[in-house]
Structure 1
Amino acid sequence: MALSYKTRRRLSALILLVGLPVYIILAISIVNLFERPPILVELLVYVVLGLLWAVPFKYVFRGVGQVDPEEGS
């Protein structure tokens, strides 16, 4: 299923404006369920979670900042 450029732009905006804040709240809530680890471990957890959210959306974000390839000129 190939998404058009316009659809990918709209979907990426939705992911960044709605999905990412929800993901951040969930990640912080889950980390707060456990006893606070040492600061470096906590930093590592947040860095991994910060990179992990983008993996499923790699195709959606690819080329979104470029000129519309379907535009023709």
Structure 2
Amino acid sequence: MSDCGCDKARRDLEEYLRHEVCKTSHDDIEQHLEGCPGCQDEALVARTLTEVVARACKESAPEDLRDLVLARLSAAQTSR
């Protein structure tokens, strides 16, 4: 195992966080992150962003907003 360096760690960070890199690359990036505060910060931002987006995808709009949007879309289609 060797430190892969900042360039590779940052380039492959998203795949690393999704566990989509091979075991060797995963271990190399993990080792790099343990010793590099800058890349640790990048990883924290990426993890946080991923979690926020995942939560947002699970939320749904209030029913009255949904009804309003559908009514306006319907009105726009009939006015054409």
Task: Decide: shared fold, TM above 0.5.
Answer: no
More helix by share: 2
TM norm structure 2: 0.31
**Bigger relative CO (Cα 8 Å, ≥ 6 apart):** 1
Bigger radius of gyration among the two? 2
TM norm structure 1: 0.33
